[in-house]
Structure 1
Amino acid sequence: MTIDLRSDTLTKPTTGMLNAMMHAEVGDDVYKEDPSVNKLEEKLATMFGMDAALFFPTGSMANQAAIKLHTQPGEQLIADKWAHVYNFEGGGASFNSGVSCKLVDGHRGMITAAQVEDHINPPDFYHSPLTSLVCLENTTNMGGGACYDFSEIQKIRAVCDSHHLGFHLDGARIWNALVAQNQDPKIYGEVFDTISVCLSKGLGTPIGSVLLGKKKLMDKAMRVRKVLGGGMRQIGFMAATGIYALDNHIDRLREDHKRASEIAQVLSEQPFVKKVEPTETNIVIFYLSEHISEKEFMTDLHQNNIKISNMGQGKLRIVTHLDYTEDMHHQFLDVLRKLNY
């Protein structure tokens, strides 16, 4: 049995999802005639209190579409230095939208309203790019699943309003934040102009993300999705798994959070671990002591049929998920306790 904790994208469809797929009513989504997709989009728009929603094959494409909707070539967005839109989307902001990124040295992937204010270029100074968008990520991937304090998000919204900036949320793991902080998704719809939500991470669907937004922006989203190559046909088979996941898999994220917290606790007790980042949701970030070889550590885990991620610069990542069972959990903790360096 392999215990794969590299990412929460590795899950397989559950029996319930497979049944939903088999019984999905489908049509051609490019013509907006797939009833399952339409149902999913309406469900999410209502859930977040947004005007409209549009299904995308990936979260990166949904984020890139949002950037395109908010900006013009030559402009600039503000994001944390660890932001997914900058680090892990293939340079899409510059390639697709012709915009640059002004990076903020935030804390665990999170930035403050004061930092946003400090990083806005003067709009009448034509030598610098025009700042037009602020992008946040919640929870933060490289920040170890950290959750924003919502009051800080509200303060950033106020800054965006005063400077006429767009406000986008990369909500790939927003479900984890909602569960961890007992939040109503509608509060996010009230402050953001656009939100991307991922169905294939914590919720466990095979593929799919959805971009939510205000009508004035979303009216153009279909065209941008087409340009990016994201128009699909009978995608209702996948949308049906998203509907199932929304109905059945949100509350169970508490199990992932609990197991991640227990892993973090065991790691913090081991002499070969230098530091474990605060663990709020389903991601554990930790660092080995200086005298421990990362290669040797990863090899030892592999020999025990365990996979985790090496993110470079000494940063190791563990992500709990739908397919990580209680038996696997106890086995993994036992292996960690028995490692000897």
Structure 2
Amino acid sequence: MTGMIDLRSDTVTRPTDAMWDAMREATLGDDTLEGDATVQALEQEAAALLGKEDALFVCSGTMGNVLATLVHATRGGEAVLDQHAHMANSEGGGVSRLAGLFCRTIASHRGEMDLDLLSDNVRGGYSRYGEPTAMVAIETSHNAAGGCVQGLEYFSRVAGVARERGAALHLDGARLFNAAAALGVEAREIALYGDSVTFCLSKGLSAPMGSVLLGSREFIERARTLRRTIGGGLRQAGIMAAAGLVALRTMPAKLADDHRRTLMLWERLRENTRVEIDRVAPQTNILRLAVPDGRAENHARWLATQGVAVRASSPQAMRLVIHRHIDDTAIDTVSNAFEALPG
């Protein structure tokens, strides 16, 4: 993909110069033995930033979500998620196969679960229909919904349902800082609704690896033990944590540029006859395109010949993700390439 305008994901971002410098100077403690000073600094800073008692550096967002599910799974037999949630559809059965929870999905629109259905399906105790709900999960920003961000009132109402029934609320915030930028709030204002929260350092924040799981001290103590259980014990993790610290300190403020360019591309693709785009303007950095004639994979191959890498998620759909390597000139190139798609 060298030389390509790569819109497949914001995970393709490369470290900044400051991240490379930090990685070269990183501490090399063993995080599973005596610990590592840089990892500890990242965990402490993340916890303070998001208003949580403690945090745990993990390999990926999927690992963070699995650990949260494992910790919350002790209460009961079900996890409640929206029908399009990444945790339910794209994370390899972590909820069901690893944590042993029945995954109950709720109808949703633009990443928001139907609150009446949610209330009907979150159990506060045992009944002849099943075990209590162990956890409810919200994803923000919402990948399958094209980067939509739910409002604070929605978070509050879901949290209210969960807590009334004694269930934990987990926030899958892979792109939490994108969500905060879209709402014009600090990330902690979203995180406060979750008993546990994950966010990725390796997407729009541009670190090469890693995510952070946050919660109470007791929650993180249990998650730290379980991290090793599932093979997530980290040795010389300071190298990756050093890049993560730079990402956490410097990159959230830059996400508004990604959102602005996503809106710019959306405006230019609205009249394209080869694809169909959501008529609602994007909130963050993801565009999902429908390809009614089923030629998404053909389009992706042709766009690659024009120097544009996109992801065909199915024969009828494509996803474009804007990130820090995409400037205004790249938006022009991408727009022109889509205009020239063969009929």
Structure 2 residue runs without a partner (length 5+): none
1:336 corresponds to which residue?
Answer: 338
How far apart, CA to CA, are the structure 1 residues paired with 2:286 and 2:10?
A: 9
Deviations 1:225-253 (A, max 9, x none): 01111010110111111111112111111
Letter in 2 for 1:196: T
2:138 aligns to what SS in structure 1? strand
Contact 1:266–1:336 under 8 Å retained in 2? no
2:284 corresponds to which residue?
Answer: 281
2:57 aligns to what SS in structure 1? strand
Letter in 2 for 1:242: G
How far apart, CA to CA, are the structure 2 residues paired with 1:201 and 1:167?
A: 23
Q: State which drifts further: 108-117 or 15-24.
A: 108-117
Matched, 1:138 2:148: no
Counterpart among 291, 299, 302 of residue 300 in structure 1: 302
2:32 corresponds to which residue?
Answer: 30
Contact 2:76–2:133 under 8 Å retained in 1? no
Matched, 1:186 2:182: no
How far apart, CA to CA, are the structure 2 residues paired with 1:12 and 1:50?
A: 29
Letter in 1 for 2:25: H
Equivalent residues in 2 for 1:105-144, closer than 5 Å: 105-121=107-123, 123-144=125-146
Contact 1:85–1:93 under 8 Å retained in 2? yes
How far apart, CA to CA, are the structure 2 residues paired with 1:240 and 1:186?
A: 22
Residues 127, 337 of structure 1: CA spacing in aligned structure 2 closer, same or farther, 3 A cutoff? closer
Deviation at 1:300, TM superposition (A): 1.9
Deviation at 1:328, TM superposition (A): 2.0
Residues 324, 32 of structure 1: CA spacing in aligned structure 2 closer, same or farther, 3 A cutoff? farther
1:31 aligns to what SS in structure 2? coil
Q: State which drifts further: 295-304 or 57-66.
A: 295-304
Contact 2:31–2:234 under 8 Å retained in 1? yes
Letter in 1 for 2:8: R
How far apart, CA to CA, are the structure 2 residues paired with 1:189 and 1:318?
A: 27
Deviation at 1:112, TM superposition (A): 4.3
2:240 corresponds to which residue?
Answer: 238
Matched, 1:321 2:316: no
Deviations 1:152-179 (A, max 9, x none): 1101111111100100000000010111
Contact 1:277–1:285 under 8 Å retained in 2? no
Deviations 1:192-237 (A, max 9, x none): 1000110000101110001000123222111110111101011011
Letter in 2 for 1:287: A
1:268 corresponds to which residue?
Answer: 270
Residues 268, 22 of structure 1: CA spacing in aligned structure 2 closer, same or farther, 3 A cutoff? same
How far apart, CA to CA, are the structure 1 residues paired with 2:297 and 2:72?
A: 43
1:252 aligns to what SS in structure 2? helix
Q: State which drifts further: 315-324 or 109-118.
A: 109-118
TM-score (structure 2 length as normaliser):
0.94
How far apart, CA to CA, are the structure 1 residues paired with 2:187 and 2:294?
A: 43
Counterpart among 173, 176, 179 of residue 175 in structure 2: 173
Letter in 2 for 1:31: L
Letter in 2 for 1:318: L
TM-score (structure 1 length as normaliser):
0.95
Deviation at 1:121, TM superposition (A): 3.8
1:234 aligns to what SS in structure 2? coil
Residues 256, 294 of structure 1: CA spacing in aligned structure 2 closer, same or farther, 3 A cutoff? same
Q: State which drifts further: 116-125 or 102-111.
A: 116-125
Contact 1:135–1:169 under 8 Å retained in 2? yes
How far apart, CA to CA, are the structure 2 residues paired with 1:13 and 1:174?
A: 19
Structure 1 residue runs without a partner (length 5+): none
How far apart, CA to CA, are the structure 1 residues paired with 2:198 and 2:278?
A: 29
How far apart, CA to CA, are the structure 2 residues paired with 1:292 and 1:135?
A: 32
How far apart, CA to CA, are the structure 2 residues paired with 1:294 and 1:313?
A: 5
Letter in 1 for 2:299: F
Deviation at 1:126, TM superposition (A): 3.6
Letter in 2 for 1:173: R
Residues 218, 127 of structure 1: CA spacing in aligned structure 2 closer, same or farther, 3 A cutoff? same
Dislocated runs of 4+, deviation >6 Å: none
RMSD between aligned alpha carbons?
A: 1.7
Residues 236, 116 of structure 1: CA spacing in aligned structure 2 closer, same or farther, 3 A cutoff? same
Aligned length: 340
Residues 50, 311 of structure 1: CA spacing in aligned structure 2 closer, same or farther, 3 A cutoff? same
Deviation at 1:292, TM superposition (A): 6.5
Contact 1:74–1:98 under 8 Å retained in 2? no
Identical positions, percent = 31
How far apart, CA to CA, are the structure 2 residues paired with 1:295 and 1:198?
A: 28
